[in-house]
Amino acid sequence: MSPAGIYAATLTPFDGDLRPDPALAIPYYRGLLENGCDGLNVLGTTGESMSIGTADRVAYMEALAQALPRERLMAGTGASALSDAVTLTRACLDAGYSAALVIPPFYYRDMGDDGIVRFFDALFSRVQPRERSIMLYNFPRMSGTTFTPELVSRLLVAFPGVICGLKDSSNKLELEIALHDLDASLAIFPGSEALLASARTNGFAGCISGSVCLWPSQAQQAWRSGEPRALEAVEVLRDSLEGRPLIGTVRARVAQEQRNPAWLRSIPPL
C-alpha cells in the first residue's frame, strides 16, 4: 500500500559529535505520529541527510525501525555515489520502511534523462526493491534534475511496479497534475502543507513537509475535513515562515517546544 496523508519531513537531532541521535529522535517522532502525522519522512532535506555519512544514515534508520511503526516511515536514500545509494536503499527496505525516497545524483548535472534512467537501472538491479517501494524525489533546485512527465513515464515503463509515487519540492501544480495524469495510482505529494487544498482537489496523496512538525494536528484536520477555513489556516501558518531559513527556523521552534537546545545543532555548513 502506497504512503498517503500528512507526512512530516523530520529534523535529525545530532549529538555533541554531530552524529544522528536516535535516543533523542524516537520520543519526538513518536509524538508526531500520535498527534496528527500519518507518517514521517526521515533523512530528507530537512533532516540534513546529505551532510550525514552513509554508515551513520544506515545506523539511524535501523535504530528508528526498532522503535517506531516502520510502515509509517519512509527514508531518504539518494546519494551522488551509486554504491552509497545502493547501500542506503537496501538498508531502508531491509529495515521494513514503507518506501525509500530517492533524489537522483546531483553533481554531474548535464547527464540528461538517459543518465538518470541508467542510474535507476543500476540502483534497482542491485537492490531489487519490492513492489511499489520507491518514491521519486523531485527537487530540481538541489539535484539539478526535474522529474518531467516524459522522464517519469520512461521510468514507469522501464521498471514496472517499483515506483509508488513522487514528492515534489518544486511545488509546481501544473507538473504535479501532469504526473498524476500519467498514472492515477502514483502517490503525488507536494512539499508544502500550503498546497493541501489543491492536493485534495486534484486527488493527490497528501503532503510531505518540513514544517508540518510545527502544527501536525492542524494539518491533519485540514486534510481530513477539507474545510476551507481549516485549509486556509494551515496555509497562513506555512506562509508565516516565508523569507526565513526553513531548517533553522524549525530547529529553533522545536528546541523551544522540547525545552532542549540539542535540537539546535546542525552539521556545517548549516
Q: Report the 10 Å Cβ neighbour count for 269.
A: 5
pLDDT at 157: 97
| CA separation for the pair 199, 176 (Å, rounded) | 9
Strand partners, 167: 137, 189
Is 137 catalytic? The answer is: yes
List, for the chain, all residue ranges whose pLDDT scores fall below the cut of 50.
none
- Could you say which DSSP state residue 214 is in? G
Position 26 scores a pLDDT of: 98
> What's the pLDDT score for residue 189?
98
Cell of 226: 477539507
CB 129 within 8 A of CB 166: no
Cell numbers 514528492 correspond to: 167
Q: Is 108 a catalytic residue?
A: no
Is residue 28 flagged as an active site residue? Answer: no
Helices (H), 131-191: 140-143, 149-158, 173-182
69 CA to centre of own chain: 17
pLDDT digits (tens, 9 = 90+) for 135-156: 999 999 999 999 999 999 999 9
Catalytic residue among 10, 12, 45, 87: 45
Q: Summarize pLDDT for 57-103 with one digit per residue, the tens.
A: 999 999 999 999 999 999 999 999 999 999 999 999 999 999 999 99
pLDDT of residue 63: 98
227: DSSP letter: -
Annotated catalytic residue within 7, 29, 60, 137: 137
Q: Reply yes or no on whether 167 is catalytic.
A: yes
Reference 178, options 214, 202, 196; nearest CA is 202
Of 29, 60, 87, 167, the active-site residue reads 167
pTM summary value? 0.96
What residues contact 245, with CB distance under 8 A and at least 6 apart?
none
**Whole-angstrom distance, CA of residue 34 vs CA of residue 38:** 9
- Are the beta carbons of 175 and 195 closer than 8 angstroms? no
Can you tell me the distance from the alpha carbon of 78 to that of 84, in angstroms, rounded to the nearest whole number?
A: 8
